[in-house]
Copies of this chain bind each other. A is one copy, B any other.
Amino acid sequence: MSHRKLSIPTLRRLPLYYNIVRHAADAGQSFISSSEIAYCLNVDPTQVRKDLSAIGHRGKPKIGFSSFELAEYLKSFLGFDRIRRIIIVGAGNLGVALSRYSGFTTHGMDITALFDVNPSLAGTVVEGRKIRMMDELERYVCENSIEIAILTVPAMAAQQVSDRLFAAGIKAVWNFAPVNITHPSGALVWNHDLMASFAAFIKFVEDSPESGEGHGIPLLSLL
């Protein structure tokens, strides 16, 4: 129980374990071993056991982990069974694409609204959600106690918009703009620079020897 502090690598692996275990459970497989999970992700089986142990889940020696139980445990631990209200700020290509992504809903993330500065988008309905104008932002965030925002505005506007979000009470921002955002203590920014990620990937590919030894990279750390 009482996980003191999970490392970020562990935190990143847990959702991947969930995908695998959920899939096994759905396919009717009763038990799954740490080796099976580890093989899928190309990590060490010990790593898997250690991570699961860290969040307080016990397996059965000789048998493995009950797929269904573990899936439910991870689901609960990761909070996929609880609803969280989230807003998307910036209803451009990416913002709209994310708002249409069904994965959010199935993982308990309720995207309650989209915001944009462009008046021509006012009232446009995307996936059942009306695009709101930026001048409604503060009131909406306060009245609905929103704490998490996905930021998909242009880089130039990211800092300015973030300042408003923090002032309105937002505690965490998932930032897709390729800029560093300064933020008050007590708030968090998790940068997700798609281009930077892709560039690192390309470079990795080009630096790799022509004949990779198949499945040899820790896919994981590359998330």
Contacts and interface: CB of A to CB of B under 8 A. Distances in A.
A210 interface: yes
Nearest to A95: B97
A3 B208 CA distance: 12
Number of copies: 2
B200 A11 contact: yes
A189 to B, nearest CB: 7
Nearest to A4: B207
Given A41-B180, A93-B96, 5 more contacts: A19-B179, A185-B212, A188-B208, A190-B205, A191-B222
Interface residues of A, number: 76
Interface of A: 3, 5-6, 8, 11-12, 14-16, 19-20, 23, 40-41, 78-80, 84, 93-94, 96-98, 100-101, 103-104, 107, 109, 148, 171-172, 174, 178-180, 182-208, 210-217, 219-223
B12 A202 contact: no
